[in-house]
Structure 1
Amino acid sequence: MHRTMADSVVVLDFETTGLSPQYGDRAIEIGAVLVEHGEIVDRYQKLMNPGFRISRFIESYTGITNEMLSGQPCCEEVMTEFSEFIAGHNIVAHNASFDRRFLDFELKRAKRVYEGACCCSLLVSRRIYQDSPNHKLQTLVSHAGIPEIGSFHRALADAEMTAHLWMSMIDRIRLQYGISMIFFDQLSELSKIDKLYTHRYLTALADEPLRKEDGDVRF
């Protein structure tokens, strides 16, 4: 995939029956927003029937009930459709390792694949919002002054608020470091470095246009 801008992505969130598809858990809702040049231009949301009753805890946690799931399409049908929504885009999720596990698992069952890159907004937030009390989505939304949209732990609302968080972090980098063009792979790299080196890394990015040789090392 060619190099893309950080502000043009699909931000997604899953609600699930538990923590791991390896132990039989399935997706019950997918929510996603398509962001182009920093603006949400499309949304996707579907409930899906996992094929078994969900626990009372999950009903309480998500607000999704067994009655709501009754009669909904199966996971494979929804994920086949969703694969078209994310095709050709990089993706962002909060605690992305969780969502990526379910994305890969459910796409495999639907005989579909996803070939784009994935970045975790939680890991990026630990570098950009180091002064936040913690890095849960709800805390960060309050910390960054982002309006709450819908209910936490519903997929589309969480995806939309994550998208606004993602854009707030890009805007903060632009403002503090004067970097007008921020690429997706740069934020992916930032998410993996020690947070103590955040300022050093972003300062080096800001200096890059001034360098004459492409081979210069950032650190």
Structure 2
Amino acid sequence: MKPIAVIDFETTGLSPAMGDRATEVAIVLVEGGRVVDRFQSLMNAGVRIPAFITSLTGITNAMVASAPDAATVMTDANRFVGNAPLVAHNASFDRKFWEAELSRAGERASQPFACTMLVSRRLYPQAPSHKLGVLVDYHHLPKAGRAHRALADAEMAASLLGQIQHDLRSRHGVDRPDHALLMALQRCAKPAVRALMAQYTGA
């Protein structure tokens, strides 16, 4: 299967449409179920980080003041991803910042995004919650570091992706649980998941 890039942002708030900016990005490149490369950087977007965000992430204004500018980081991140499709946990959030920050940098975003949160809701309806940390504990996956730092969250999302692909093979008989299947699953209504699996297994 082709490489998949698992991405996570830390930001000053919830929406670039409201003026919020990225403060950190991390990307974990996964190929054949194994992590083959990583990219991580703080970025200086020229905006102040609210105190409550600093308390959540540990990222301070002093830290981003000495970081590379956002356009440089995003250009490098886009080059790192290349043509790989993207995965994120709660991808609607990360996709907004990926597209907004790339646009500011004069770059174009074209990769499709799959969401491990939406896929997990289809595959693991019995999980107590579909937050990333809860799913990591539910599947007994390794904790990668402090939550709400981009690389730690990207590493955990990559582990969750590996678990999803393993379960699609072992429980559902899918030979190639690729990005296209993840995209189809996240769009699939929950009652139709079984029929979708049958299409991919020939059952």
Is TM more than 0.5 here?
yes
Range with greater deviation from structure 2 (193-202 or 78-87): 193-202
In 2, distance between residues paired with 1:141 and 1:61?
Answer: 19
Give the equivalent residue in structure 1 for 2:162: 167
SS at match of 1:40: strand
Gaps of 5+ in 1: 209-219
Q: Match for 2:76: what amino acid?
A: E
Report percent identity of matched pairs. 44
Report the alpha carbon displacement of residue 77 of structure 1 after superposing the two structures with TM.
1.1
Give the equivalent residue in structure 2 for 1:47: 42
Whether 1:12 and 2:33 are equivalent positions in the alignment is: no
Give the equivalent residue in structure 2 for 1:213: none
Report the alpha carbon displacement of residue 68 of structure 1 after superposing the two structures with TM.
1.3
Report the alpha carbon displacement of residue 203 of structure 1 after superposing the two structures with TM.
2.7
Match of 2:149 among 154, 164, 184: 154
Q: Is the 8 A contact 1:8 1:38 kept in 2?
A: no
Give the equivalent residue in structure 1 for 2:18: 23
Count of matched residue positions in the alignment of Structure 1 and Structure 2 = 203
SS at match of 1:42: strand
Match of 2:55 among 52, 60, 65: 60
Report the alpha carbon displacement of residue 30 of structure 1 after superposing the two structures with TM.
0.1
SS at match of 2:56: helix
TM-score (normalizing by structure 1): 0.89
TM-score (normalizing by structure 2): 0.96
Whether 1:127 and 2:122 are equivalent positions in the alignment is: yes
Match of 1:35 among 30, 37, 41: 30
In 2, distance between residues paired with 1:109 and 1:130?
Answer: 38
- Which has the larger Rg? 1
Q: State the Cα RMSD in Å.
A: 1.2
